[in-house]
Chain A
């Protein structure tokens, strides 16, 4: 069976390589992709939408529907991860606590437990290793800068590469760093599960809401020009600000979904112990 699979893979790979010979050369101005719509976008983007980065304006304005449903796909991925993995019933598992002043470790089985965030006792993981001071300190210093960079990527998506998607992933990664450097409970305490679920839906809602708002103002769905009727900027600037609005929606949704997926995978849906 393995040999047959290998032969099939080799055959299809050879076919694909053979087919690439018919491709236009890299950067060929006469190729079909760069003769029809691309020149129009490249020439008209700045005067139509006031956004220097053509990629952002195509993603969020000319092809706004695609990006909206991409965000919905990410939202659906997060929700399906939650539905498949999350368990609410607490198993009678072993739990370890450490008395902070004396350093004695207590092993508890069954229903009884020490209340969370008790002043005398500290919950520790089953596979506990002493926290590394260097890792903790570096993570504490680094996280604000990572989050600031994520917000910069979001805000400068118009002028430079980036946008809501990348910014959201970087912001989510900063919280994952907290979860790895400290422990999962610290990260969940900082970013509660309810807030996470709310934000992942809110992002999609902002995106679709801006589209629907344009519809209410008399334009088409996601036709940001119409925002000029309510806000104090002209119809071309309105498109740039509309793009910023939907990018913020994508940012919030992607950030929340990344954290949701990580927390659910690493704790098998129990949200108490992790990497």
Chain B
């Protein structure tokens, strides 16, 4: 585990999380959420829990992003608040 890499990924996780909540465009929010999941997946892999990383990559970054995009496609793209 390299501390610099770890801190870099952790910063990206926080940036992605805050941006995913605060962005007005819901499609962008879905993509940012996928990026957040991917960063979390890297963190799990760095910490040695490969099974969790694999689940996070397939479910969090893969399928759930597709679900969000599908939901945005059928509702609205801009938030009300």
Given A162-B54, A170-B58, A265-B74, verify A275-B63 contact (CB < 8 Å): no
Q: How far is the CA of A162 from the CA of B51 in the complex (A)?
A: 6
Complex Cα gap A18–B17 (Å): 20
A198 within 8 Å of B (CB atoms): no
List A contacts of B69 (CB < 8 A).
275
Residues of A within 8 A of B53 (CB): 161
Which B residues are in CB contact (< 8 Å) with A172? 63
| Interface membership of chain B positions 58-70, coded 1 if the CB is closer than 8 angstroms to chain A and 0 otherwise | 1100110011011
Q: Mark each residue of chain A from 17 to 59: 1 if its CB lies under 8 Å from any CB of chain B, else 0.
A: 0000000001000000000000000000000000001011000
Cα(A262)–Cα(B74), bound, Å: 12
Chain B contacts for A26, CB-based, 8 A: 47
Q: How many A-B residue pairs have CB under 8 A?
A: 50
Q: How many residues of B contact A (CB 8 A)?
A: 17
Chain B binding surface, main DSSP class: helix
Contact B67 A261 (CB under 8 A): yes
Chain A residues 246-269 with CB under 8 Å of chain B are 258, 261-262, 265-266, 268
**Which residues of B sit under 8 angstroms from A163, Cβ to Cβ?**
51
A265 touches B71 (CB 8 A): yes
> How many residues of chain A are within 8 Å of chain B by beta carbon?
24
Once the chains bind, are B63 and A258 in contact (CB under 8 Å)?
Answer: yes
| Contact between A173 and B63, CB atoms less than 8 A apart | yes
Tell me which residues across on chain B come within 8 A of A55, comparing CB atoms: 51
B8-55 residues with Cβ-Cβ distance < 8 A to A are 47, 50-51, 53-55
A176 to B51, CA, bound (A): 23
- A residues near B (Cβ < 8 Å) are 26, 53, 55-56, 153, 161-163, 165-166, 169-170, 172-173, 176, 180, 258, 261-262, 265-266, 268, 274-275
6 pairs from A and B in contact (CB 8 Å cutoff): A55-B51, A166-B59, A169-B59, A265-B74, A268-B74, A274-B70
